[in-house]
Structure 1
Amino acid sequence: MSEHNENGERVPAVVLDYLPNGRADDDRPQYQKPAIAYALGVEEFRLFEVTLEEDVSLTITDRFDADRRSDVVASVRELDYGDLSSSAQPELEHAIRAIVEEDQRRFVDFYNDAQPITLRLHQLNLLPGIGKKLRNNILEERKRKPFESFEDLEERVSGLHNPKEVLVERILEELREDDLKYRTFVRREEQ
């Protein structure tokens, strides 16, 4: 799935849940209820509810163009984590992990490129389990040579275990928590 950003560029997304008979809380007769899908944007990790055109069928993990201009989608609206279906919520972690694995270079480069946010806070410190000592170890190692992979990160930085999962945890936290001061991976629509 993909939606388009403000510039009209496609932004891919992945299906978290598909409801062929529409939402249970929709009081209309069954024949009037459109199929819907819950999806996660791949680039900005935004959450969406997509109302599908007739005769469109999807499965979890499918990717498709969810732009209103497509022949698949009737409408798209952005959601908060709490608005996802009970089936979409547990799929979220799997979808994030798949995105991180598929685009390893992008996420390894986060470790290579992360910068200070304030005089006392660094982007790396936003990651679960990364304190001052571990942050400094990462910064020292990346000065020597940029990290090539998650395995390279884990081998070169003592104490950094499973750097991919650390990112998955942070992305989940950014999606679930409404009142975070800093967001690195999740872009939210301005309310």
Structure 2
Amino acid sequence: MRPPERRQKVYEEYAYILDFLPYGYGFAAAPPRRRREGLRGPVAQALGEKYFMLLELAPIPGLELRVGERIPLLRDLEGQLIRVTRRLTYDELTTNARAELPEIVKRIVLQREGEFVEFFNKAEPLTTRMHSLELLPGIGKRILWKILEERKRKPFESFKEIYERVKIDPVRAVCERILEELRGGQRHYLFVKPPPRRSPPP
């Protein structure tokens, strides 16, 4: 289970609202780019359901959004009530959005349990010295070998089974790794669509 390559254009079909500002950003709270551009009107910050992309949304005036709400992101311009304006970095999230992020990540992970259990069953080495499972917090060499032995004996079928057979909390490990990737600066991305490469300043 790997996010798409950097150059592959992908879109989130659903997202969860992390914060909703019906009157837009206050000047002090606005990301620097938005201060320069003078963004006005309602704005929301959200987390994509499939690629864990942090998104800035512009809903039509009068549309109320609730924190934690799952919303569709339509690409049909005529039917759009919410427009994706751009991708955000973790540092651009509001204080409220950062506070909501761990719980929303956990909700998505639990809903996509089968996919993440399959990651434990099929994850492969990254190099001759590093296995992709070792990127999950709490998994060192001893736990790694235990996982590899157990999945060879019988593939895991649930988070509960991983916990019972390996004695680690797989939900916590996956969620913490996703949060690390959302903060950026990672060499390897297991679950989050990597941030776009920025051109160096001239």
Report the TM range for the smaller structure's normalisation: 0.7 to 0.9
Higher relative contact order (CA 8 A, sep 6+): 2
In the alignment, does 2:142 pair up with 1:136?
no
> Are 1:66 and 1:76, in contact at CA under 8 Å, matched by a contact in 2?
no
| 1:121-154 deviation per Cα after TM superposition (whole angstroms, max 9, x unaligned) | 1110000011111101001100111101111001
Residue 107 of structure 1 is matched in structure 2 by 116
Residue 120 of structure 1 is matched in structure 2 by 129
Gaps of 5+ in 2: 1-7, 198-202
CA 1:172–1:10: 2 relative to 1, 3 Å = closer
Residue 3 of structure 2 is matched in structure 1 by none
Residue 43 of structure 1 is matched in structure 2 by 50
Residue 72 of structure 1 is matched in structure 2 by 81
CA 1:189–1:128: 2 relative to 1, 3 Å = closer
> Are 1:38 and 1:50, in contact at CA under 8 Å, matched by a contact in 2?
yes
- So what's the TM-score if we normalise by structure 1? 0.87
Is the partner of 1:18 in helix, strand or coil? strand
| 1:69-114 deviation per Cα after TM superposition (whole angstroms, max 9, x unaligned) | 2421244210100001110001000000000111111111111111
CA 1:156–1:131: 2 relative to 1, 3 Å = same
In the alignment, does 2:164 pair up with 1:155?
yes
Question: Shift of the alpha carbon at 1:35?
Answer: 0.8
| 1:12-69 deviation per Cα after TM superposition (whole angstroms, max 9, x unaligned) | 21111111111011799xxx93111100011111101101112211001112233452
CA 1:166–1:17: 2 relative to 1, 3 Å = same
- So what's the TM-score if we normalise by structure 2? 0.82
CA distance in 2, matches of 1:181, 1:167: 17
Gaps of 5+ in 1: none
Residue 14 of structure 2 is matched in structure 1 by 12
**RMSD between superposed Cα atoms in Å:** 2.1
CA distance in 2, matches of 1:65, 1:129: 34
Residue 81 of structure 1 is matched in structure 2 by 90
CA 1:83–1:103: 2 relative to 1, 3 Å = same
